[in-house]
Amino acid sequence: MPDYAKITVDGQTHEFPIVQGTDGNRSIDISGLKEKTGCWSYDQGFANTASCRSSITYLDGDQGILRYRGYPIEEIADKSTFVETAYLLINGQLPTKPQLSEYSRLFTKHANLHEGMKSFFLGYPSTGHPMAMLSAMVCALSAYYPELVKPNPTQEEIKITAIELLAKIRTIAACTYKKTIGEPFMYARADLEYVNNFLHMMFSTPTQEYSPDPAVVSALKTLLILHADHEQNCSTSTVRMVGSSWSNLFASVSAGICALWGPLHGGANQKVLEMLEQIHADGGNTDKYIEKAKDPANPFRLMGFGHRVYKNYDPRAKFIKKKADDLLNALGIHDPLLEIAVKLEEKVLKDSYFQERKLYPNVDFYSGIIYKAIGIPTDMFTVMFAIGRLPGWIAHWIELKENKDKIGRPRQIYTGEMVRHYVPIDQRK
Ligand code: ACO
């Protein structure tokens, strides 16, 4: 097979090298396309474009395969912890025992926020969306750690910034919740590991310590791990794009949080639960909503279905569905929304509209049922996604630096007026 592709423009043929990943996938390297052919490439939504070289996450959407640094997601979700998964994604290797205990110790050491940051929360309206607070507060960390925001930090500075961020994001998340319910902020405890500490800051009060059911800790840990990375999705590409201008890690991640918020991306988990609640309030008539989603004249979509890359069952959704079942059983909760979700999925999988378009449940479809059972309010679901996704964002930001990637700067197909001349306001019609 030739290791180049030929592109003919205006009768002239030009060769472009084909590069191959370790997964065997081939890409045409079109660097120099404009120079050689006089044309740019056009790929709306980057659906056919590899934007970088990456060794972090392997994803095969047709087969439903997801691996972090080569390790199958099923093994990691089953056997690892969130802190260990973060170490793996960021450092490329599973940690040794001493490395892991040092990593965990640093997370606890850096968990609490600078006292000055508390005043920010006071200024937000209690109805403010937690994602707005999260992205702003993550960016605000840049102001509190100016020594960590150099354009070209050392490896040690990057390591500390990553730990500050990983440790503090759950504290910020918990503070946004406390702010909205009007309770005092809780400090992290030195004796608790990552997930338990988050639950403590969320649900303990000065007079009552929250003691979670082990099934809650296990379900939350699994969700965070399953969200930890997903190669070049919208928010990760945003982090890489912002980082490519040498913006600091806090600012780059803050931009990623904003990208995640959208309902077509991480914001879908909130929308799924709202949709299930709406179907429930409407008498549980799933057929009605399936028909609405299939109607081309109706913009309504079944939230939690479909994926740009997975054209098969999202392996994370399978795992989460089982976890949701286990958690509700362990807590003795009967949630009619789970029944609606299962019924909806069964019908969708048999429906030719969804089959033809290869639309399967995605990671967001069942996650809201777990968050709800834990007691996390609906508008915080995407915040939970952001906590989970943080190790991936950090790993990609570091990789971008290591690969010395160029600043992101796509071209466009211009569709506007070519040239017009200014008309004074009193002469305009
Ligand atoms: N419900 C109904 N129809 C759908 C859905 C859905 N959830 N998703 C896609 N379709 C249809 C589209 O209308 C389109 O139909 P057409 O070919 O007749 O025009 C076709 O399937 C292809 O859809 P696109 O929007 O072109 O697919 P794309 O890859 O651009 O979008 C996306 C993927 C955004 C995830 C889409 O499936 C969607 O909107 N899903 C609902 C939101 C959601 O769950 N997002 C979370 C994704 S996972 C994550 O980000 C963590």
Q: How big is the chain, counted in residues?
A: 429
227 lines ligand 1 (CB under 6 A): no
In the prediction, which pLDDT does 3 show? 92
For residue 283 the two structure tokens come to 């008498």
In the prediction, which pLDDT does 359 show? 95
For residue 238 the two structure tokens come to 């945003």
In the prediction, which pLDDT does 357 show? 96
How do residues 241-255 score in pLDDT, each as one tens digit?
Answer: 999 999 999 999 999
Check residue 53 and report its DSSP letter. -
Asked if 87 contacts 194 with a C-beta cutoff of 8 angstroms, the reply is no
- From the number of C-beta atoms within 10 Å of its C-beta (0-12, 13-18, 19+), residue 11 rates as exposed
Q: Would you kindly state where each structural domain of the chain is located, as residue ranges?
A: 4-50
In the prediction, which pLDDT does 184 show? 94
Average pLDDT of the segment spanning 316-343: 91
DSSP β-ladder status, 26-28 and 12-20: antiparallel
Q: What is the DSSP string of 227-293?
A: TS--SS-HHHHHHHHHHTTT--HHHHHHHHHHHHHSTTTTTHHHHHHHHHHHHHHTTS-HHHHHHHH
Whose CA is closest to atom 18 on ligand 1?
296
Average pLDDT of the segment spanning 342-346: 94
Active-site annotation holder among 229, 364, 379, 396 = 364
39 lines ligand 1 (CB under 6 A): no
Indicate if the pLDDT at residue 278 is higher than 90. Answer: yes
Q: Reduced to 3 DSSP states, what percent helix, strand and coil does the chain have, rounded to the nearest 5?
A: 55, 5, 40
Indicate if the pLDDT at residue 386 is higher than 70. Answer: yes
Distance, CA of 79 to chain centre: 22
Torsion of CA 7, 11, 13, 14, to 10 degrees: -70
pTM of the model: 0.94
275 lines ligand 1 (CB under 6 A): no
> Is 229 noted as a catalytic residue in this protein?
no
In the prediction, which pLDDT does 243 show? 97
In the prediction, which pLDDT does 186 show? 96
Indicate if the pLDDT at residue 148 is higher than 70. Answer: yes
CA distance readout (Å), 343 to 107, 281, 362: 41, 15, 16
C-alpha–C-alpha distance, residues 199 and 368, integer Å: 17
Indicate which atom in ligand 1 lies nearest the CA of residue 305.
7
CA distance readout (Å), 158 to 85, 163, 319, 384: 18, 9, 33, 24
How do residues 284-302 score in pLDDT, each as one tens digit?
Answer: 999 999 999 999 999 999 9
Q: Which fold, 4-50? A: Rubrerythrin, domain 2 (2.20.28)
301 lines ligand 1 (CB under 6 A): yes
> Is 129 noted as a catalytic residue in this protein?
no
C-alpha–C-alpha distance, residues 124 and 377, integer Å: 18
168 lines ligand 1 (CB under 6 A): no
Active-site annotation holder among 307, 314, 379, 396 = 307
Indicate if the pLDDT at residue 2 is higher than 80. Answer: no
In the prediction, which pLDDT does 39 show? 97
CA distance readout (Å), 123 to 12, 127, 139, 180: 63, 12, 16, 12
Whose CA is closest to atom 15 on ligand 1?
357
In the prediction, which pLDDT does 59 show? 95
In the prediction, which pLDDT does 1 show? 62
C-alpha–C-alpha distance, residues 97 and 90, integer Å: 17
Q: Dihedrals φ, ψ of 367, to 5°?
A: -65, -35
